[in-house]
Amino acid sequence: MSADLSVSRRFVLRAGAAAVAAAMLAACQKQPSFKSTDVSGSDLGTDLSLDDFNGKPRSLQDFKGKALVVFFGFAQCPDVCPTALADLAQVRELLGPDRDRLQVVFVTVDPERDTPEVLRQYVTQFDPGFLALRGDDVATARVAKSFKVYYAKVPGKEPGSYTMDHTAGLYIYDPQGHLRLFARHTAGPEALASDIRQLL
């Protein structure tokens, strides 16, 4: 009888240990809890072939190894664009020692006014590590279509003046170059930093 109890006790102990090990493995494999919208596996954002403000051709391949945030806008944007870029500069600060593992790329939807020099001065005032891309009208339309980004010229009050309506969202890639998240421009630095930490 005591032998049976001993065998039974060993079985219970082994079963308990197996359950603990399974729980620990499950914890290690727990899916990340993102605050942004998970768009993993979508066909969005496969084309980012444009020149940077130094005239160097860029593509998604260039940013592998880092988390990448892509934002579409224009330098004369009065509110949404500067707010989003300021938030992203704060995200880099919140990442601390991992700040250089995040690349922010601003894509202009206003190549008519956003020359390479304008873009360089504009984005680097938020963070010296930020990069801006531009193309002609055809290239801009092609890349915007890949991201399903809407943009349109809106006439201003003065003759010949205009502003731009555009999609204001953040496209976030993991270091392997896969688009993983879409965030609203109002997400805030803390939420964005939390999501990016999980991707890193």
Residue positions forming the annotated binding site: 77, 81, 166
- Residue 196: which of 104, 82, 132 has the closest Cα? 104
Binding-site residue ranges for Cu cation: 77, 81, 166
CA distance 188 to 146: 25
For residue 20, give both structure tokens. Answer: 């603990």
- DSSP class of residue 129 equals T
| Residue 131 CA, distance from chain mean position | 13
- Do the Cβ atoms of 181 and 44 come closer than 8 Å? no
